[in-house]
Each structure stands twice: as C-alpha cells, then as structure tokens.
Amino acid sequence: MAQTLSRSGRGPQPLRPRKKQLPFPLNIYQTAIGRKWVMALTGIGLLGFVVAHMIGNLHVYEGPARMAEYAETLRTLGGGLVPRGTILWILRLGLIAMFGLHIHSAYSLKEISRKASPKAGFVGGAKQYSGGQDFIAANFASRTMRWTGPIILLYLLYHIADLTWGWWLGDDFVHGDPYHNLSESLSSLPVAIIYIVANVALAVHIFHGAWSMFQSLGINNPKYNKARVAIAAGLAGLILVGNLSFPILTQAGLIDEDNRECAVEDFDDEHDILICLEEQLEEEG
C-alpha cells in the first residue's frame, strides 16, 4: 500500500457527505452504483423498444395497407379484453418513465463526476492534463455519450411532433396512415438529413451503452466477455442499417406515393382513406 502523507487529520473534505438512507429500494438509487443499475436496466428496456420499433417499421416495405394494419394492431393490442389503445398507453407510460429515469440518473452521475474533477478543468467531458491526455481505452462512443444522449432526446421530440402529432405536415397529415405521413415527411431532404444524423448518434450511443450495461450490472464472465463487444456492435449495426434505410430509401424513391391504390388526394375525409386501405387489404387476402 502507498504510504500517505497526511496534512491535517483525516484527508480532504468529502465531496458528497453520506446522506440519511431512504427506505429499502429507494436507498439503492441514492448511490452512484445503484444509479448505474437503473441506467442499465432502463437502457435494456429502451433498447428493446428501439429494436421493436425498427422491426415494426419494416412493414413500410409491404406497402401502405399493411403499414396501416400494423399501426392499427398496435392500438388494438389486447384484442377485445381492454378498451382500444389501453395497452399502447401503458407501454407509452412505461417508456416515458424509463426515459425519465435514464436521463435523471445520467445527469446526476455526470454532476458527481464533474464535482470530482473541476480543478483539473472539465473540457469536452474529460479533465485535461497539460501533457495532453491521450485516451488509450476510451473510444469515441464512450466519450460522446453525454452529447449523443441529448441529440437523441431532441430528435425524439422532433420525431413525435413530426409523425405522431403532424405539426409540420399540417393538412397533409393523415391520422392512421403512417405510410403517407412517412413518405411526405422524409421526402424533404433537410428532414431526411435530420433523421440520418440522429440515427447515427443513436447507433453510437447504443454501441457504448449495450457494452457498458453488462459491466454496470456485473454480468461478467471472462469466458463470454468478448461476446459482449460483439453483441453491442451487432445491435448498433442492426439498428443503424434498419433505421437509416427509411430516410435513404425514401430519398431514393422506393417509398413514395406513386401507384398507390388509395391515393390521399382522391379523398376528402381521412376516414375514407382508412376504409379504402382496409378494403385493399381484404382483396389481397
């Protein structure tokens, strides 16, 4: 052990004096390691959502009718057992809670680290040595988590306003016809660029997150540790390819409204478009 020279009493002042413990499950969240657990567990939930969302969106390649059917299936999850939209709203509330916890734990942990190293300067997320600290192990993904995170959050808000609420499409927005909304929105080049940039940030975020969560949760076995990096890279790659295909192929013209059987401009009422799409589906069998 190092021999330590002590100036006065017992070392420097603690950065975070120990607080009174809250009742059981909450006291875990009071600690930094507990917060890392929460970040990892909510990360798994959010990752599951991102993968499911990407796979579900692949229905867009089956045409407008199938896409509308998929959207309707999500709203009627649970069949006749629960009122329409109930399960979907439960899932949404779960996602909002997971986002909230994920962001709060990330932000509060960052604050603790910032307090632990301000004197050394806190530039670009890292303390700086004058000798120029060369990162040996830390990669681009791990050092940019605190930038890719907020980018994803801003993109998420934009994405919901764009394709769920239809803020920018205005009269062009047809509720219940996601194929139409998607091709209308993504056929504009600036919008496609926003989607591409945000999804690259998402993949970078997932690459570090998917590896890091094993470590935070203590899932570690020297026999399988190499597989953890492969899993993280595979997941990030899968999501990158799947999600980037939508803006790129819309720009390339593969997802467009030409030759559409139920062309939106032929109808006055939104409801009639949906009926037309349903009929088309029945004809296809």
**Interface with another protein (CB under 8 A):** 1-7, 10-12, 14-18, 23-24, 27-28, 31-37, 109, 112-120, 125-127, 129-138, 142-143, 145, 208, 211-212, 214-220, 222, 225
Half-sphere exposure for 271 (CA within 13 Å, toward CB)? 0
Q: For the CB of residue 219, give the shortest distance to another protein in the complex, in Å.
A: 7
Least distance from another protein to the Cβ atom of residue 5, Å:
6
Please identify, using beta-carbon distances, which residue of 83 and 118 lies nearer to another protein. Answer: 118
Min. distance of Cβ 210 from another protein in angstroms?
11
Residue 200 CB, nearest approach to another protein (Å): 21
Which of residues 15 and 81 has its CB atom nearest to another protein in the complex? 15
Q: In the complex with another protein, which residue's Cβ is closer, 73 or 215?
A: 215
**Which of 242, 213, 278 shows the shortest CA–CA distance to 42?**
213
Q: Which is nearer to another protein, 217 or 238 (CB)?
A: 217
Residue 14 or 190 with smaller CB distance to another protein: 14
Residue 157 beta carbon to another protein: minimum distance, rounded to whole angstroms = 25
